[in-house]
Amino acid sequence: MIDEIAELVKTAKRPLLWLGGGARGAVREATELMRRGFGVVTSTNGRAIVSEDEPQASGRST
């Protein structure tokens, strides 16, 4: 399914995932999409679904 999603948004200039608490069961999939170039924004309940140390994650700690 990841390949299908990635293919659908391949033409997007800046693909973005908004992750909330409902994405907790999709850590692997969200991380893979992030590594394929998707930016990631999380709600309070979605924090740490993807590593905040990744440059594509908005919750990045510095």
Residue 61 has pLDDT above 50, yes or no: no
Q: Is residue 55 part of a domain?
A: no
Q: Is residue 52 part of a domain?
A: no
**Looking at per-residue confidence, does 55 or 16 come out higher?**
16
Confidence at residue 55, expressed as pLDDT on a 0 to 100 scale:
77
Confidence at residue 49, expressed as pLDDT on a 0 to 100 scale:
92
Residue 26 has pLDDT above 90, yes or no: yes
Range of the domain at 28: 2-46
Enter the DSSP assignment of 43.
Answer: -
Q: Is residue 35 part of a domain?
A: yes
CB 38 within 8 A of CB 19: no
Residue 54 has pLDDT above 90, yes or no: no
Rounded CA-CA distance 25/4 in Å is 19
Average of per-residue pLDDT values in the chain: 84
Number of domains in the chain: 1
**Looking at per-residue confidence, does 15 or 23 come out higher?**
23
